[in-house]
Chains A and B, each alone.
Chain A
Amino acid sequence: MPADSHKLWALLAGIMLVTVPFFPRIPLPVTALSLIMALWLAAMLLNKIRQPDKWQRAGLLLLAILVMSVSFGTLLGRDAGTGFLILLAFLKMLEINGKRDVYIVVYVEYFLIASNFFHTQSPWVALYVFATVIYLTSILILFNDKISTLDTRRRLMIASRMILQATPFMLVLFILFPRIPGPLWGLPKDAQAAVTGLSNSMSPGSVSSLIESEEIAFRVRFAGQIPPHSDLYWRGPVFSRYDGQTWEADNAFGKATANLIKGEKGKTIQYTVTLEPHQRNWLFALNYPVNLQDSGYRLTREVQLLSRKKINSVTRYSLTSDSGIRNHSLSGYERTKNLWLPDTDSLNQKTIALARQWRQLVGEDDRRVIDRALRYFNEQPFVYTLNPPLLGNDAMDDFLFETRRGFCEHYSSAFVYLARAAGIPARIVTGYQGGEKNPVDEYLIIRQSSAHAWAEIWIDGTGWQRVDPTAAVSPDRIESGIQDAVAERDLLPTILLGGNSILLGLRYRWDSFNYRWDEWVIGFNRERQFELFKKLGFANIDWQGMVIGMVVLLALVGTLIGLWIFWQGAGARQDRLKQAYDRLCQKLAKTGISKNNTEGPTEYFSRMRHKLTPASASKARGLIQYYLALRYGMASSPDRQRQFIKSVRRFTPHLK
């Protein structure tokens, strides 16, 4: 072991600090092999076993390859890539034989640390990465601290200072580096794991399973007042096909756009949504978004807002919704689609009979049929519950006449079924309802637990109209939120229960911080970048301008920090002289004897002079005496300094 063992312990601590957070995310065999190698190193440092020889190392490498192929079968992708790097870093640790190996290990660790952001980009991770980078830098300092005068605290201080000096560069690069859209920044496929959220079909239980999740779906900041809770229907996937169990979207003419016209009255709401990644194309909006010309988003025929790309990073979009907008016509295809029911001859006969009965009672007016249906939900003993009983083959009959316990997906699908049976075109809309106001920062938090499903019916002359049967069963759900609506309170996640006000306040503050982080750090994309420049008065800046600005700012920051370091450094003015002397020593080191840094010039000379030819030796002695006089005597002047530098440049030592 060339390096002291305490240094290697520090390096081992560093690699553990870096790799341990990966262990839960990578397959068990990789973790196990990593830990075995870590233990090997620890035993080696305790002098229990020797450093693995060439064959043992080759064996470990083969084992690592085996583990990789069993666990991943590839080296590509996020998890396989980081897993392999972790194994390689540990392998390198076992063959450390000099400073170069240490550097390689530390650099690999720097890379691993950065790859944490492939998984999550929360402020916590950023904090952890920042702290670990400081520690890794302090390891580099440790291995370069030849005289071992610095204790751990001091090394961490120096490392922190270095990172602090690098921070302005980081900020300039972060703000100005052109965000080129394209696959260059894309993550490998396996990074886009399934996340909680609405799905592209709806069956009993698919919405209520989300209620348990405290995860945030998106946050919204309104330009003006936050509208009342009961108006906040965040429109997501729309379902019109039903097979008896599951509702699905109609993809046949997915490309068609909505045919919307401006109605008479209606107010506009401006808001900005910061959407957490959910690996789907859809976005959420209030009825109906109008300013989509430049946004790159579009509305489907069923008025669902879609993005071209999957939302796999925090996405921020601003919308204006106009509640006066409506659809002006319903095509024959759509009318048929939204009236269609499966197997009307055999399934759900009682339900169909009920709908037909209402139709006979009230006549032609569709609205009165709807009122009848809502009254039915309201008056019959229906219960709004999170754990409804299972339904049989005749799901609607079972629900409407037997169990009468259900969640919003039950109510909405039963309602749409009834409407269709009565001859009214109807469909299901899923999304989120309501939201939680953050009093700290006056924005709305929409959690997965606000997931909701409601219905839309077609009224000739009015267009599609929202009807929420859940409101008829449990008005509280729509008026104030889920926490007041559900009977079984203890089934709800704690976040929905409210409670301790100090904790709640802290939680809102933390969420507010997270929101800003998403808005300004994670969501700092091309649009945001241009927005910022517009605010700063550079409205028409292009890529070239940005790159030039970046280079200029980097140079400026570099100069300022350089000057600061220069003024801080004592004796900086003697640097040229010292550099020339160092060059002289480098030349003299060709004798095979190099100067160590605690050695004075004459000591060094007397140690190596016997290697030089007499002429060379006397020349070197002259130069060293000259240097001593310039540096320690009173003889120094810029002229003499230059002369010395020149003489050193011309000097070539000749060996005996």
Chain B
Amino acid sequence: MLQSDMDSPVKQSTWLAGLLDEALSTIGKIILGKEEQIRLALTCLVARGHLLIEDLPGVGKTTLAHVIAQVMGLDFQRIQFTSDLLPADVLGLSVFDRENNIFEFHPGPIFSNLILADEVNRATPKTQSALLEAMEEHQVTTEGTTRSLPDPFFVIATQNPVHQIGTFPLPESQLDRFLLRIHMGYPGKQAERDLLSGADRRSMIDQMKVVFDQKKLKLFQSQAQQLHVSDALLDYIQAILQFSRSSNNFEFGLSPRGGLALLSAAKAWAFITGHGFVVPEHVKTVLPSVVNHRLLASGRAGNASDIVAADIILQNVPIP
């Protein structure tokens, strides 16, 4: 949406820009033709949010998560969610150590920088909520002890379309925990050709270069949060929130958390696209990923499946 020749007059340091470009191009070599999704995924990471990828199996959800972990230099755990997965399988559990006569905590896979929660809607609500609480709190409480999760901590959850058999759809209250939701979609014709004719993705990931480390990522995250936001932009965001609450297009409006999510996603997007401040176009770009899983279009608007919440907002809320 934002033209590349429209870069802001306030540029970031070339060092950061170089790192970001390198990360993007590295990921782009493996995930073909999905620049937008890659950028959004990085936006989510930089905004310290969690990402929900919703699409059919086999479109590269897992690969994307894997690649990001690799490029960012994060340790990576994959949890395959199934209907018999228990909270302890995710969080970890204490096992009695006979030799030392104490219970010893064996951390679960969640104690990693990047978690890929695969097919999160196939687990029972109990397990889902264990994961989602950990996502929100950045800590895990088991058997009376609270343990902090590593920082950075980033969850990429994938979800099959809800109408598939054997799913427990995430309730709205829990969908709200994901900063962004993206769709992968099928690759374009050329990208598909390259994919078919190219090398094996798995081995490519193994050979991939690590661009970031945790320290740089944290620096990015804090710098993105400090990006300047003007009153005019807050007016726009408030207009969006107000519209979502007062218009009768939606079942219910955006929550304050939704508003914060929109702001931090817009900041992160502005940051990774190299801008020194946030303009309404940034908000508009991230808006579909931020609000489409938070808002339920109601009534006549909801019946037409191709009308989604973000389009209603984009077409109706004027930029102040």
Binding site for B on A (CB under 8 A): 146-149, 151, 570-571, 574, 597-603, 605-606, 621, 624-626, 628-629, 631-636
Contact = CB atoms under 8 A, between A and B. Distances in A.
A151 B6 CA distance: 38
Interface in B1-50: 1-3, 5-6, 8-10
B319 A599 contact: yes
A598 B2 contact: no
B230 interface: yes
Contacts of A603: 1, 281, 284
B280 interface: yes
Interface in B130-161: none
B319 A600 contact: yes
Interface string B242-254: 0100111000000
Given A625-B9, A633-B228, A149 B279 contact: no
Nearest to B276: A633
Contact of A633 (B3, B8, B243, B319): B8
Contacts of A601: 279-281
B192 interface: no
Interface of B: 1-3, 5-6, 8-10, 228, 230-233, 235, 243, 246-248, 276-281, 284, 314-320
B320 A571 contact: yes
Contacts of A602: 2-3, 6, 279, 281
Contacts of A624: 6
A598 B319 CA distance: 5
Given A147-B317, A147-B318, A633-B230, A625 B8 contact: yes
A634 B277 contact: yes
A636 B230 CA distance: 10
B279 A632 contact: yes
B163 to A, nearest CB: 32
A146 B316 CA distance: 8
A621 B10 contact: no
A635 B10 CA distance: 9
B317 to A, nearest CB: 6
Given A602-B281, A603-B1, A625-B6, 15 more contacts: A147-B243, A574-B232, A599-B319, A600-B281, A601-B281, A603-B281, A605-B6, A624-B6, A625-B9, A632-B230, A632-B280, A633-B9, A633-B276, A634-B228, A634-B230
Nearest to B228: A634
A598 B248 contact: no
A385 to B, nearest CB: 69
B316 A598 contact: yes
Given A633-B228, A633-B230, A598 B318 contact: yes
Contacts of A621: 5-6
Contacts of A633: 8-10, 228, 230, 276-277
A438 B46 CA distance: 80
B274 to A, nearest CB: 13
Contacts of B2: 602
B28 to A, nearest CB: 23
A159 B10 CA distance: 44
Nearest to B313: A598
Given A149-B247, A634-B228, A598 B8 contact: no
B319 A571 contact: no
B22 to A, nearest CB: 26
27 contacts: A147-B243, A147-B315, A148-B316, A149-B246, A571-B235, A574-B231, A597-B318, A597-B319, A598-B315, A598-B318, A599-B319, A600-B279, A600-B280, A600-B284, A601-B279, A603-B1, A625-B6, A629-B277, A631-B230, A631-B232, A632-B228, A632-B233, A632-B277, A633-B8, A633-B10, A633-B228, A633-B230
B54 to A, nearest CB: 27
Contacts of B280: 600-601, 632
A600 B233 CA distance: 11
Nearest to B6: A602
Contacts of A148: 316
Contacts of B320: 571
Contacts of A598: 314-319
Contacts of A636: 230
A544 to B, nearest CB: 46
The 6 tightest CB contacts between A and B, nearest first, are: A597-B318, A633-B277, A600-B281, A147-B316, A600-B280, A602-B6
B248 A151 contact: yes
Nearest to B281: A600
Contacts of A599: 319
A146 B318 CA distance: 10
Nearest to A636: B230
A466 B248 CA distance: 77
Contacts of A147: 243, 315-318
A79 B232 CA distance: 54
Contact of A629 (B1, B10, B281, B315): B10
A606 B8 contact: no
B284 to A, nearest CB: 6
A151 B246 CA distance: 9
B278 A632 contact: yes
B6 A571 contact: no
Contacts of A626: 9
Nearest to B247: A149
A602 B280 CA distance: 9
Contacts of A571: 231-232, 235, 320
Contacts of A597: 318-319
A157 to B, nearest CB: 13
